[in-house]
Structure 1
Amino acid sequence: MPYYAHTGLKSDQSDWQELRDHLYGVGNGAQRRAEATGLRFSDFPRVAWFAGLWHDIGKYRREFQQYLKGLQHKSDLTHHKQAGAALAHLHQRPETTFAIQGHHGGLPDFADAKTAIMSDSGTPLLERIMETIRREIPDVVKETPPPPTGSRDELDLVIRMLFSCLVDADWADTAAYQDSINGCSPESVPPALEPAVLLPRVLGYIGERARRAAEPMKSIRGEILKSCLLRAEETPGFFSMTVPTGGGKTLSGLAFALRHAAIHDLRRIICVAPYITIIEQNAKVIREALGVDDEQRTVFEHHSLAEPGTSDAQDDRRAEEFARRAENWDAPVIVTTNVQFFESLFSNRPGDCRKIHNIARSVIILDECQALPPGLLDPTCAMLKALVDQAGCSIVLSTATQPALKQRDEFPHGLTRVRELAPPSMDLFERLQRVTITWPERETRWSWSEVARQMVKKSSALVVVNTVEAARQLFRELRERVDDSKSVFHLSSAMCPFHRLRRIEEIKKRREVERSCFVVSTQLIECGVDLDFPFVLREFGPLDGIIQAAGRCNREGKLVAPDGSPGGEVIVFNSEEEKSPPGWYRKGIQNLRGRLDAHGPERQDRWTRPEGINEYFASLYPLGRCDEREIIKERESLNFRTIREGRGDRRGYRIIDEDTEPVLIVDWPPIQELVASLMEEWERRPTRQLRRKFSRYQVNVRTQNLDQSMIDKRRDGLGLWLGSYDSELGLSADLMRESLII
C-alpha cells in the first residue's frame, strides 16, 4: 500500500505527497543546510541527513494513514514524531532525538524527551513498524555516524542548529509541495552575500559623505575606517569597536564586516540593535551604502512585528501553516533587534528556531551592546562564545559606552580574546569631545514646567526622560508654552514604524534649515537615532543613557564655544517625580549616584571616558545576579522548554519580561488605503514578503491587562487594532495603560 506524508487536492490521492519522497527531500534539505553552517561537530551534515530521514517515520503507522484519509480522528494513536526520536535514541544520537521530538511543538526538556521515547508512540511503535520502514526506506539505518562526544554545554548549540536545519528543511519541502499542487510559483531566493561587489560601493558611499564633512571629524572617521579595514584580516572571533557617537560606527563596522567576510568566507552580516528605531535607521543607511532598494532582498529588517501571530485555532496543521511563514534569515544582510536575535537563540519553538542555522558563519555586529540585560549576561555571553567557538562566527561589540563583558574572576562567563578595532592609542574620546555635560546638585529638583521653561529658552532642544508618562506630560507642557505647535514633537514606541520614521524625517528637515524644534522622548532615541541638537536635557538615569543622550548633541562638532571648548550643551537634571523603570535601570541610577559621590564633583569628566564607563559597569553587575533566571544550569541539563518558559515563578530567557503582541493599525488616515491594499493582497496569498510589509504599520503591545476587545484576532494570525490612534502620540492612552506599550 502507498504511504503518504501530506494530503493533496484530489480525492483519488493522485496528488498526495508520498512519505518516502518527503523523508528523502527533508533529509537532503537538512544536509545542505548543515553543510553550509560549517558547525564544528563530527559529521554534522550526515547527522542532519538522518534527522530528516527519520523525522516522520511514525507516519508509517496505520492509524496516521487512516487519519489522512479522514477515517481516523486525531488522537494519541496518530502521533508520529516519537517513533523517529526513539530510533535516534536507539542509535545513541541525543542531538537527533531532541530535534525530531521538537519538530512539532518545540524542543522538550530532558525528562520529557525520555518520557516521549518510552510512550506507546515511541519505542513500542517503532518496533511494530520497523519492518515496513526498512522496506520503504532501505537507507534508514545505513552507516549511521558514531555517538557524539563533548559536554552538554557544547551539545546545546548543536541541538539548536540541527533542530533549525530540520525545521527549515521540513517546512520548505512541505511548502514546495503545496505550491506545486496549487499551481503557485515558489518564492524567490535572496542573493548570496557578495563582498567583492558590495565593499567598493560602501567605500564609495563613505567617501562621498566624507567630502561633505568638516575637519577634524572627516580625518578622524577616516582613521577609524582604515583601522577597521586593516583589522578585518585578523582571524574570526570577538572584536570591540569603542567609538564615541559621531565617529561613523555604522559604516566603518559595515566595511569591516564585508572585508572580514570576504577574507574568511563568511556568508552573512547580522546587525543587532536594542530598539526598533535603531534598526529602522540603520537599515536605511545600509541600503543606501550598499546601493540597493527596499524591493531587493539584500537587506532584511526583522523585529517582533515582522513575525506571524499565533492562532486560536485548535487545528495543529493550521497553526503550523502560520509558523511556516516565520523568517529563516536567508538574506545576505540582516538588521534585527536584541529580542529577535537572542530570544531565537534561546527559544525552543520551531518558528523562532528556523533561522538559527543561518546565523552560523556570520559577522554579527552587536550595536549599542551596553543595552544587553545585565540579569541575562552570563547565559548571553556563554551563547556568544558558542557561536564563535562552534559556529565560526565573528562578533563585534559596537558602542560608545563599552560594557565590562571581558572575563575576570568576578565574571567567569565573560568573553575572552576581544580585540579592539579602534585602539586607545587613537585617543578618540578626547578628540571627539563635542559637548560639555553639567551634572545636577544632589538636592536640586525640576518640575516638568521648569524643564519646559529651560527648553524654550533655546531655539531648539531635545529632552530625554525616564518614563512614557513623563514624556506625555512634558509634551503637553511644551505645547502650551510655544506659539508654533508644529515645532513640538513626541517620539514613542507607541507609534508604528512608518509614523515614527516620518516624524524623525520632519525633525531632521527642521534642524537642517534651523527652524525651531523641540523634541520629547523616552530612552528609545538615545541609541543610534541620527538626530543633532545644540542643547540636550537628560533626566538623571543610568550612565550609558546619559552618555548616549549626549550623543544627540553637536554630533558633527560644528559648535565651538568662544573659549575654544566644545559648544554642545548637555544638562542632566533631577526631576521632582524621580520615577524610573524598576530593576536594573534603577540599579544603574543608584550605582551612578554612588560613583559620583565616591569620586567627587572635581572628577565628573571621568564618567565620559572608557576607564570610567568600565568602572561603572564593573560595579553595576555585582548589584544583582547576571544569571538571575538560572539559564546556565538549564542549558547544561538540556531543558529547552524551561529555558524559554521558565520554572515556577522564575521566568525563562526573555529580553522583555512581559508577553507582547503586534497589532496592525488599520484606521489611521495616512496609511488607511495602503494597509487595506496590503490586506487584499494577503487574502489572496499570504507570504513572508508580505508579512514584512505589514511590520511598518504595526505596534507591539504588552498583553498583560490589555483590553482584548481592542484587537480583532483573525484566524490568519493578524491582530487588527480596533481602538483609536493619535496623530501625535500613537496608540491612545485612554484606551490602554501606557505601561503596556513597548
Structure 2
Amino acid sequence: MLNIVADLRSDSVFAHSVDGNPEHDWEPLTDHLCAVGTSASCFALPFGAAEVARAAGLLHDLGKAKPAFQAYLRGNRPSEPHSGEGARFAAERFGGLGKLISYAIAGHHAGLPNGTGRAQGRPATPLHDRIRQAEALELPRGIELPALEGPPAPLAGLAMDDQANFRLHFFTRMLFSALVDADFLETEAFYDRVEGRPRERGWSGSLEELRRALDAHLAAFGQATTPINAERARILSHVRAGAKRAPGLFSLTVPTGGGKTLTSLAFALDHAIAHGLTRVIHVIPYVSIIEQTAAVFRNALGDADAVLEHHASFDWEGLDDPAESERLRLAAQNWDRPVTVTTAVQFFESLFANRPSKCRKLHRLAKSVIILDEAQMLPLRLLRPCLAALKELARGYGASVVFCTATQPALKTGARGDGFPAPEGLDPAEVTELAPDPPRLYEAFRRVRVQDAGEMDDQSLADELRRRDQVLAILNNRRHARTLFDMLDGAEGGAILTTWMTPAHRRSVLDEVRWRLEDGRPVRIVATSLIEAGVDVDFPVVWREAAGIDSIAQAAGRCNREGRRESGEVFVFRSNADFPPPAELRQFAEIGQQVLARHGDPLSLAAVRDYFRDLFWRRGVEALDAAEVGGRHGIMTALAEAGNQLDFPFADIAAAFRLIEDGALPLVIRGGRWGVPPDEMERLRHVPHAGAVARAFQPYQVSVAPRLRAELIGLGAASWWREGEFGPQFAVLENPRLYDERAGFSPEDPEDMGGMIW
C-alpha cells in the first residue's frame, strides 16, 4: 500500500530545519531535491550520465517526506532513517539501471552497501534489506523524474564479458560520487545562506593562465648550455608535441634527472587544453616528496591557490592565512582545484572506498589528466583492480592516464607487449609512449655503474664505509641498519635514517647530510629504503643490500645524481647477517639477483622489463589481486561472482582494499630534541578536535608494529594520551631512554622497557 505524500503542500515538507528559526526559514524538500538533482547532473555530465544523476538527486531524500521524519525535524520523535525509500523507488521505476541508482541513494549517508549479505565493514545492512524495509512513497508535488531512455555513455554497448561487472560497479561509484558531492554542497549552501556565511569554494582562474605562467617559468631557464640540459629541453619539446594525441593511456619513460616532473605538468596542461579536460591529478607513492612536488608546481604556476596538496599529514591549520586554510580544506573534500597532488594511498583507496567523504571527489577524475609518478610502485597485491580502474577511467570517463617513471613496469599484455599474465593488463596498441626514444635517453642519462659485490658480512661493509669519505649504505631491515650504524661509532659524518626516527629528526639529519655533501665533508649514511623515496641526495658511492631491480634503480638515483662525476658506483651485496627481510622482499631480491646475473647493466630498459615480467609470472594472477573480500579471494573475483543480479559487495571491498598492509601504528615521541616540545604538548591539551591533534603530532611520531606498541603500553613504557576524550588513539612514549637522539626509537629487550621509566 502506498503512503501517499503527493498532496502535502511542498512548502510544509522540509529537508532541513534551522535551530531556533521559524519554519519559513527551513528548506522545503522539493527545493533540496531539485538543487541536488541539478548539481549531481552537472557533476555527471562529463561522463555522459547527467540524467541518471539527476534522477538520483531527485530521489535521494524521498524518505524525508515521511511523517515520521517531519516529526523528527520538529523535535517530536527520535531520528528516522530516510535513504531506503528513494532507493526502493529507483529500483522499482528504472529496472537494472535503477538498482545502480539505488546503491547510490541508499549509501548517501552511511556508505555504499553490499548488494546482499551483511558486510564485514560499514554499513552492515545490505541493499536488499534496506529496500525491503523501506516504505513505498509517491513523489512529492513538483518532482518530475527524467525518462532515462537507454544506458548512460560509460555503459553503452556494454559487452557481457569478464569485465562487465567491474564496469557496472565502477559506474555506480562515479554516480555515487556525483550524488554525495552535490548533496554535501547544496546542504552546505543552504546553511551558509541562512547563517550569512560567505562561500569559500571554487577557483576563478583558467588552465590557459596556468600554462602561460608555466611557459614563462620554463623560459626563464634560458638556453641549454650543457648536453644534459639540451636533452631535457628535447624531452620537454617532444612530450609537449604529443599533447595533441587523443585522450587515453600514455607512458612517459624518462630517466632520473630528465626533468619529468615539470615535463609531465606541461604535457598535462597542454593535453587538457587541447581536449577540453578539466584538471590535473598528480599521484605520488611517497608522502616524503609530495610537499616538494607541490612546491615546485606552485612556484612554476605562480598561483598557490591553484595547487591542492592532499595527503594525511598536510597541516591546514599551519597556513598563515586562515582564509586560505579554509579554502584549501574545503577543496580537499572534493578536489575542487585545477591541479591536485596526492598520494597513491589517497588516490587508490578512494577509488575503492564506500564512505561518502572518501568518494565525493571521484567524479572529478572524469575528463582529467592523471599522472602516476613512479608508476613502478603500483601495489602488487592490488595491481589487477588498480589497473582495471585506471583503464576504466580512460575508456568510459574521458580521462588520460600517464604512467610516468624511469623504470616502466611490464604491464602490457600479449606477445607484442610484456606478456602481463592478467586480463587487466594494458593493450600495447592503446598505450602511447610520450618520450623520444627511451633506450637512447637511458644511455644519455646513464651516470652510474652497478656491480655485484657478492656476499658480505657487517664488518666488511663497515670497513668499506669507513674507507670512503662520502658513502651511502641502504639495508632492508631497521634493526640491521642500527647494528651497522653502531659499528661506525666514531666515524666522522656518520648518521642513520630509518622510519624509527620522527619526521622532524629525519629532516634535521638530511639537512646536515646535504650540507656535508655540498661542502665536500665526510658523510657516511646508513639507511633503510626510506632514503629511496625521492630523497634528493647525491653520493659518489652507494652500497645496496640485494633487492628488486626497481629498488636498486631507486638507490642508483641517489648516486651521481647531478652528473658531477664521470660515473658513480653502486655495489649490490648479499648480507650474511641474521636480519632476514620479509618473505615478499626476499622474492624481489632473488629475482633481482637473477636479472643482475643475466644483464650486464641491470638498470637498462630490457633488464627492468625482464625483472617485472619474472616478478608478475612468479607471483601469479591470484597474488596480483590478493584482498580477501567477504570470504572471497580477490576483488575481481568478488565482482564477477555478483553475476547478473548486480549484487556488488561495496562495503566488503572497501574494508578489504588497503594499500599499506603492515598495520603499523603511530607512537608519539615527546620531549627531548625530537619529540613534541613541552609547550606544544600543553597547548594540545586544550585542542578539542582529534584531527587537529593528530596533525600536530605528525612531525613527532614513529610507526611501530601493533604488537610492540601493545607491549610498550602493557609495560608502562607508553600510555594513552587524553584517553577519556579520544579513546585509545594517541599512544605517547613515556620512557625517554627508548628514543636515542642520534638513532631514534630504540626498542631494546621488552623485558627491560617497563623498568627503565623515570
TM-score by length of 1: 0.82
- Structure 2 letter corresponding to 1:9: D
* Structure 2 equivalent of residue 266 of structure 1: 277
C-alpha separation between the residues in 2 aligned to 1:389 and 1:354? 21
- The amino acid that maps onto 1:102 is G
Q: Judging changes above 3 Å, is the alpha-carbon distance between structure 1 residues 233 and 583 closer, same or farther for their aligned structure 2 residues?
A: farther
Post-superposition shift, 1:85? 0.7
> What is the alpha-carbon distance in structure 1 between the residues aligned to residue 22 and residue 667 of structure 2?
42
Distance 1:654 1:197 in 2: 38
> Could you say which residue in structure 1 is the equivalent of 2:72?
67
Cα shift readout 1:186-237 (whole Å, capped 9, x = no counterpart): 3342445x332223433443454576x8622111111211111111121111
Match of 1:587, as an amino acid?
A: Q
* Residue 218 of structure 1: aligned partner: 229
The whole-number CA distance in structure 1 between the counterparts of 2:200 and 2:683 is 18
Q: Supply the AA of the counterpart residue of 1:106.
A: G
**Deviations 1:568-615, CA, capped at 9 Å, x for gaps:** 111112222364543542221121233345x3xxx432x211011101
Measured after TM superposition, the shift of residue 141 of structure 1 is: 3.4
> Which residue identity does 2:56 align to in structure 1?
A
Partner of 2:370: 364
Matched, 1:482 2:491: yes
Is the Cα contact below 8 Å between 1:326 and 1:354 reproduced in 2? no
Cα deviations across residues 383-429 of structure 1 (Å, max 9, x unaligned)?
A: 11001011111111111111101122533321122111224366012
**Does residue 305 of structure 2 align to residue 297 of structure 1?**
yes
Is 1:640 paired with 2:646?
A: no
The corresponding residue for 2:323 is: none
d(CA) in 2 for partners of 1:336 and 1:174? 27
Give how far 1:488 is off: 3.7
Structure 1 residue 504 corresponds to structure 2 residue 510? yes
| 3-state SS of paired residue (1:574) | strand
**Partners of 1:324 and 1:351 within 8 A in 2:** no
- 1:620 equivalent among 615, 639, 652: 615
Conserved 8 A contact 2:474-2:528: yes
User: Any stretches of 5+ residues in structure 1 without a counterpart?
Assistant: 309-322, 561-565, 646-651, 738-742
How far has the Cα of 1:436 moved from its partner?
1.6
- Distance in structure 2 (CA, Å) of the matches to 1:61 and 1:703: 49
The answer to whether residue 81 in structure 2 is matched with residue 79 in structure 1 is yes
Q: Give, in whole Å, the separation in 1 of the partners of 2:336 and 2:724.
A: 28
Which residue of 339, 344, 351 corresponds with 1:338? 344
Comparing 694-703 and 325-334, the one that deviates more? 694-703
Shift of 1:438: 1.7
Q: Does 1:51 align with 2:56?
A: yes
Superposition pairs of residues 45-444 of structure 1, within 5 angstroms: 45-74=50-79, 78-90=80-92, 91-92=94-95, 93-112=98-117, 119=129, 122=131, 125-127=134-136, 129-130=137-138, 133-135=139-141, 138-141=142-145, 143-146=147-150, 150=158, 151-192=164-205, 194-209=206-221, 215-292=226-303, 296-306=304-314, 327-408=333-414, 410-416=421-427, 417-424=430-437, 427-441=440-454, 444=455
SS at match of 1:382: helix
Q: 1:730 to 1:83 in 2, by over 3 A?
A: farther
The answer as to whether partners of 1:82 and 1:116 remain within 8 angstroms in 2 is: no
Q: Which residue of 2 aligns with 1:528?
A: 534
1:522-575 C-alpha deviation (Å, 9 max, x unpaired): 212224322211111111111110111011111121202xxxxx2x11111222
SS of residue paired to 2:313: helix
* CA–CA separation in structure 1 for the residues paired with 2:347 and 2:86: 30
Structure 1 residues 552, 203: closer, same or farther in 2, change over 3 A? farther
Contact 1:439–1:573 (CA under 8 A) maintained in structure 2:
yes
TM-superposed deviation, 1:356: 0.7
SS at match of 1:722: strand
Tell me, in whole angstroms, the C-alpha distance in 2 between the residues paired with 1:187 and 1:659: 37
Query: Which amino acid in 2 is paired with 1:231?
Result: G
The one-letter amino acid of 1:547's match is A
Per the alignment, do residues 506 and 325 of structure 1 end up closer, same or farther by CA in structure 2, a change over 3 Å counting? same
Larger mean Cα displacement after TM superposition, 16-25 or 658-667? 658-667
Residue in 1 aligned with 2:755? Answer: none
Q: Distance in 2 between matches of 1:716 and 1:9?
A: 28
Note if contact 1:305-1:698 (Cα within 8 Å) is conserved in structure 2. no
**Alignment correspondent of 1:541:** 547
Which deviates more from structure 2 when the two are superposed, residues 275-284 or residues 173-182?
A: 173-182
| Counterparts of 2:76 and 2:704, CA distance in 1 | 43
C-alpha distance in 1 between matches for 2:409 and 2:355:
30
Query: 2:604: which partner in 1?
Result: 609
Give, as a single letter, the amino acid of the residue that structure 2 aligns with 1:467: N
- Aligned match of 1:592: 592
What CA distance in whole angstroms lies between the structure 1 residues aligned with 2:32 and 2:262?
44
What's the CA shift for 1:28? 2.2
| Residue equivalent to 1:451 | 461
Deviation at 1:676, TM superposition (A): 7.2
Tell me, in whole angstroms, the C-alpha distance in 1 between the residues paired with 2:721 and 2:125. Answer: 39
Decide whether aligned partners of structure 1 residues 387 and 711 sit closer, same or farther in structure 2, where only a CA change above 3 A counts.
Answer: farther
Q: Which moved more, 1:500-509 or 1:611-620?
A: 500-509
Residues 117 and 413 (structure 1), Cα distance of their counterparts in 2 relative to 1, 3 Å cut: closer
Give the conservation status (yes or no) of the 8 Å contact 1:540–1:574.
Answer: yes
Q: Deviations over 1:100-129 (max 9, x none)?
A: 11112221222259985664x6356442x4
Aligned residue identity for 2:586: R
Which shifted more, 361-370 or 468-477?
Answer: 468-477
RMSD across aligned positions (CA): 3.6
What CA distance in whole angstroms lies between the structure 2 residues aligned with 1:386 and 1:615? 27
Q: Residue 234 of structure 2 aligns to which amino acid in structure 1?
A: E
**Inter-CA distance 713–86: structure 2 relative to 1 (3 Å threshold):** farther
Identity of aligned residues (%): 36
How far apart, CA to CA, are the structure 1 residues paired with 2:380 and 2:524?
33
Kindly provide the amino acid, as one letter, of the partner of residue 491 in structure 2. V
Task: Report the secondary structure of 1:657's partner residue.
Answer: coil
Tell me how far apart the structure 2 counterparts of residues 104 and 378 of structure 1 sit (CA, whole Å). Answer: 29
Q: Is the 8 A contact 2:201 2:330 kept in 1?
A: no
Pick closer, same or farther for the CA change 1:71–1:580 going to 2, 3 Å: farther
Q: Give the SS at the match of 2:235.
A: helix
- Which residue of 27, 41, 55 maps to 1:31? 41
CA contact (8 A) 2:667 2:732 kept: no
Q: 1:585 to 1:676 in 2, by over 3 A?
A: same
Gap change, CA 1:9 and 1:73, over 3 Å in 2: closer
Q: Cα distance, 1:169 vs. partner? A: 1.6
Candidates 649, 655, 661, aligned match of 2:659:
655
Q: What is the deviation of 1:658?
A: 4.0
Structure 2: gaps (5+ residues): 1-7, 119-123, 159-163, 317-328, 628-633, 643-647, 714-718, 752-758
**Map of 1:314 onto structure 2:** none
Q: 1:307 to 1:714 in 2, by over 3 A?
A: farther
Contact 2:595/2:607 (8 A) holds in 1: no
Distance in 2 (CA, whole Å) between partners of 1:701 and 1:69 is 48
Number of aligned positions between the proteins: 677
Say whether the 8 Å CA contact 1:587–1:623 is kept in structure 2: no
Work out the CA distance in 1 between the residues paired with 2:359 and 2:390: 16
- The residue matched to 2:563 in structure 1 has which SS? coil
Aligned residue type for 1:627: D
